[in-house]
Structure 1
Amino acid sequence: MKLTTVFAALCLIGAQGAALAADPNLARDLAAGCANCHGTDGKSLGGIESLAGKPKETLLQKIADFKSGAKPATIMHQIAKGYTDEQLDLIAGYFAAQK
């Protein structure tokens, strides 16, 4: 029974990875939710930090700090917890690639 459960879990993890890789627009689509505060393609119009062109590692560290509560926030700590690490990696890579 335990082996079946482990196998099923591994299949689900593999399926999630395949789904992430199958959609070439997934990073852009996930990052679109950030536009409300950070501007289209991460180019803020002021008041909130722009994300476009920032190093991926810097963005991931900031998100990790929000997620852990190390960096105070009004809403980012809640938003960051709503994404998987894989999704956050895609989002950070998307913004890092923007000019």
Structure 2
Amino acid sequence: MKLLRWTPLALALLAGAGTASAQDKPDPNLARNLAATCAGCHGTGGRTVPGSAVEPLAGADSAVLMQKLRDFRSGARPATIMHQISKGYTEAQLELIAAYFAARK
């Protein structure tokens, strides 16, 4: 009877242990996955359609992209939607996105 009572606790501990080890390993696709949310406006891989009013991101300097993202987030740079989108990411996530697009040619 005691075994049945403790089994859910043991299972919860084991499940938590599996989750912790998964979090210790960085996701090699995280930057790409985060950057994919930009494709709707900035094109696949940050390459916009020629003639688009939206600026391309591929190959842009990472520091410049980060400054633009910070300016969107603070409201210093005018935007239609980017001020809302940029607030949805942590600083580290924005850095991953900027680095991802900077690496694209």
- The CA distance in 1 between the partners of 2:88 and 2:66, in whole Å, is 14
Percent same amino acid among aligned pairs?
63
Which one has the largest radius of gyration? 2
Contact kept? 1:20, 1:26, Cα under 8 Å: no
RMSD: 1.7
Give the match for residue 68 of structure 1: 74
Pick aligned residue for 1:42 from 46, 66, 69: 46
* Distance across 2 between alignment mates of 1:58 and 1:19: 30
Change (3 A) 1:21 1:66: farther
Q: CA deviation at 1:47?
A: 2.0
- Say whether the 8 Å CA contact 1:38–1:44 is kept in structure 2: yes
TM-score normalised by length of structure 1: 0.79
State the TM-score, normalizing by the size of structure 2: 0.75
Taking the aligned partners of 1:37 and 1:87, their CA distance within structure 2 comes to 19
Match of 2:83 among 77, 81, 94: 77
- The runs of 5 or more residues in structure 1 that have no matched partner are 1-14
Cα shift readout 1:72-99 (whole Å, capped 9, x = no counterpart) = 1111000000000010000000000000
Query: Which runs of at least 4 in structure 1 moved beyond 6 Å after TM superposition?
Result: none
Q: Distance in 2 between matches of 1:84 and 1:55?
A: 19
1:36 partner amino acid: G
